[in-house]
Structure 1
Amino acid sequence: MYPLNFSTHGWQRHGTAPDDGSSALEWNENLPLPDLGPTNVLVKYHSRSMNYPEISIANGTFPWKCPDHVVVPGSDGAGEVISRGSSVTKFAIGDKVILQHYPGFRDGPAPASLQKVPGTHMDGTFCEHGVWDESHLLRMPEYLSYEEAATLPCSALTAWNCVLGPTPLRQGDFILTQGTGGVSLFAIQFAIKLGATVIATTSSEEKAAKLRSLGAHHVINYRDVPEWGSRARELASSKGGCQKVVEIGGPGTIGESFKCVARGGEINIVGFVTGVDYKESPNPLSPLLHPCTVRGIEVGNQIHFEGMMKFMEAWKIRPVLEERRFSLQDIKEAYKYFWSGKHFGKMVISNM
């Protein structure tokens, strides 16, 4: 049963702080939870994953305006249903569930308005429990652990949207991915199963070796080859360039992405890890000079999510997890480690 005046514990973000933003976080042993409505479920989180927006929101570099009120950070989480409202039909006590990144975003290319996101506009997952409407949750794939499932709502779904929509990647196509974060690694895994050729960029030979072991066909060290866009275009010359580009960097990398994209190809803008200063962006006519589609990817909808999980289950695709693990109590250390850029794959925050 759901007790009256039930509370939980976890982290809250108070304003912003420099660098990794972790000093803006404060632990609270008595976080109130909303009353359990008829269609609500109480979820005990077993794992969460970190995304770049957690850092950029905390350090004040997030390009979208966030509410000023104090919230629990974290958009991604997986856990079990431990209580439910009187009208809940989708889940039973003990069911394993995943939270949607955009709760209530059922269908369409992007939310019709600025959708409320956990950890940004309302309390997120960097705590012990959460109350959600049953429509905001999806059932976990049985073959995945809580840690693996917690990586799906943002990074995996973003990668799926890049690779499969609106013009799906096809066998024999080329795709370029940037770096070794979650979105890029999921995109590599999806693309390989679809029969595409993967060109990946990274900054070290150690990470290059890991990318090759994951299945990347070509790896370019962008420190050794600053004009990696031209090099990627050469590698993909049989198809006139890359049919898909997963653009993670933003202003600092978009120029090279235009160099490597094929005529009629697609640049999927996902992130802004090189910053948000667009003064040195390429010519606004670049999509015309290099005829292509430029898409801003806003994660994905629930139908995308369901299709992605079916695909992953059919191929038994497992997320690539950073070897170092963090507990909920060690969130500040997790922020620092993420900020350092040492991670490979998805960083998870579990109940240790």
Structure 2
Amino acid sequence: MQRWQIRPGNTTPLGLESAPSETPGPGEVRIRVRAASLNFRDLLALRGTYPMASNRPIVPLSDGAGEVVKTGSDVSRVAEGDRVTATTISNWIDGAFDPASARQSIGFSVDGWLAEEIVLPETALVKLPDAISYEAGATLACAGVTAWNAIVERAHIGPGDHVLALGTGGVSMFAVQIAKLVGASVLVTSSSDAKIERARALGADGGVNYVTHPDWGERVRELTGGAGVDLVIENAGTLQQSLKAARHGGAIAVIGMLALLSTAGAPRPAPGGGGDLMDVFRSGATVTPIVMGNRRMLTRLVDAYATRGIAPVIDRTFRFSDAPAAYAALASAGHIGKIVVTV
């Protein structure tokens, strides 16, 4: 089988190689990969700037979907022929995040989905209904579950609430869809009026161009009748403006490395947008870090999208042989939603 590997220290860090098929052990299954998708942290891992990246060659990408083709002994949750995806941390089944579980982070600590085959523990898997394509299923585990965790599990957003999603990338476009799913209204921010219009066409109720409105937190308040939003999906390292945009007592969901690191992997600067504890105190907001989500959350998300017929926003799809071009497209930041590689 063919697989792509990130090779730390190599002049060409992403390389394609042949490898033998792996035999699944007890409780494991081998999956014929059909699609995988990229997240911001995958770009950092390729550049060697992701804090939790492996220092050894590793198959990247935490998100994918495919068909079970072989099962090891003691497997009972899935069978050969099942269509599946998997939670991004293979041993995080339910409950709160345990940092020790990061040792089983797919695509970072253990080999990921950018290959023709992958072997995973059956406990990580979630079955995909026929209503969800492999390409759609491959986008859900990281960005989709992160947005679901922030909106549904943590903030308990519902009808009449207001959500603000920063940007128009994968997490933000999932936030648009999930906010509308639960009956909330949702705004987005962008430096591009064209992207805002595309987001509106995909379900957003409006948007703010943060170049035209540098003090965009105040503009968001104006658009919500002076009240502010109930939840901000903070993935841009602009906490001060997010606190301005939120209602008093609202919630700020800080989305992992998106909010903490720049595209070069350096910490995002605080001046002008970082905020401090006094800003938090005055706002009365609850600031909560969101670290993706567990298998139970992924199962609920899959069920919701299948039942309601929602299709994740996929901007571009690349062939397996063109994986480097998919990374380049992610780096260009011209996309809305997700970038997918078909296998």
- TM-score scaled by length of structure 1: 0.90
Q: Secondary structure at the match of 2:78?
A: coil
Cα gap change, 1:307 to 1:61, in 2 (>3 Å): same
Q: Which of 135, 142, 166 is the aligned partner of 1:154? A: 142
**What residue ranges of structure 1 are gaps of 5+ in the alignment?**
1-7
Query: Which position in structure 2 is the counterpart of 1:41?
Result: 29
1:257 corresponds to 2:219:
no
Aligned length: 334
- The answer to whether the 8 A contact 1:16-1:58 is kept is no
Q: Which of 90, 100, 106 is the aligned partner of 2:93? A: 106
Q: How many angstroms apart in 2 are the aligned matches of 1:305 and 1:95? A: 17
Deviation at 1:268, TM superposition (A): 0.5
Task: Give CA deviations for 1:243-280 in whole Å, capped at 9, x if unaligned.
Answer: 00001112xx2221011111111100112364523453
Residues 215-294 of structure 1 aligned to structure 2 (within 5 Å): 215-237=203-225, 240-250=227-237, 253-270=238-255, 271-272=258-259, 274=262, 275-280=266-271, 281-294=274-287
Query: Which position in structure 2 is the counterpart of 1:90?
Result: 77
Q: How many angstroms apart in 2 are the aligned matches of 1:36 and 1:241? A: 51
Q: How many angstroms apart in 1 are the aligned matches of 2:170 and 2:101? A: 24
Query: Which position in structure 2 is the counterpart of 1:5?
Result: none
- The answer to whether the 8 A contact 1:16-1:57 is kept is no
Deviation at 1:65, TM superposition (A): 3.3
Cα gap change, 1:325 to 1:92, in 2 (>3 Å): same
Q: How many angstroms apart in 2 are the aligned matches of 1:188 and 1:16? A: 38
Query: Which position in structure 2 is the counterpart of 1:213?
Result: 201
Task: Give CA deviations for 1:162-185 in whole Å, capped at 9, x if unaligned.
Answer: 111223102111110111111111
Letter of the structure 2 residue corresponding to residue 325 of structure 1: T
Residues 114-193 of structure 1 aligned to structure 2 (within 5 Å): 114-115=101-102, 116-193=104-181
Letter of the structure 1 residue corresponding to residue 242 of structure 2: S
Residues 270-349 of structure 1 aligned to structure 2 (within 5 Å): 270=255, 271-272=258-259, 274=262, 275-280=266-271, 281-322=274-315, 324-349=316-341
Q: Which of 23, 26, 29 is the aligned partner of 2:15? A: 26
Q: How many angstroms apart in 2 are the aligned matches of 1:141 and 1:276? A: 40
Letter of the structure 2 residue corresponding to residue 29 of structure 1: S
Query: Which position in structure 2 is the counterpart of 1:3?
Result: none
Deviation at 1:313, TM superposition (A): 2.2
Task: Give CA deviations for 1:100-144 in whole Å, capped at 9, x if unaligned.
Answer: 111111112323525121111111111110111111111012201
- TM-score scaled by length of structure 2: 0.93
Residues 74-85 of structure 1 aligned to structure 2 (within 5 Å): 74-85=61-72
CA RMSD of aligned residues (A): 1.7
- The answer to whether the 8 A contact 2:191-2:211 is kept is yes
- What is the percent sequence identity of the aligned residues? 33
Q: How many angstroms apart in 2 are the aligned matches of 1:332 and 1:84? A: 31
- Could you list the runs of 4 or more consecutive aligned residues of structure 1 that deviate by over 4 angstroms after TM superposition? none
Task: Give CA deviations for 1:152-204 in whole Å, capped at 9, x if unaligned.
Answer: 10011001011112231021111101111111111111111222121111121
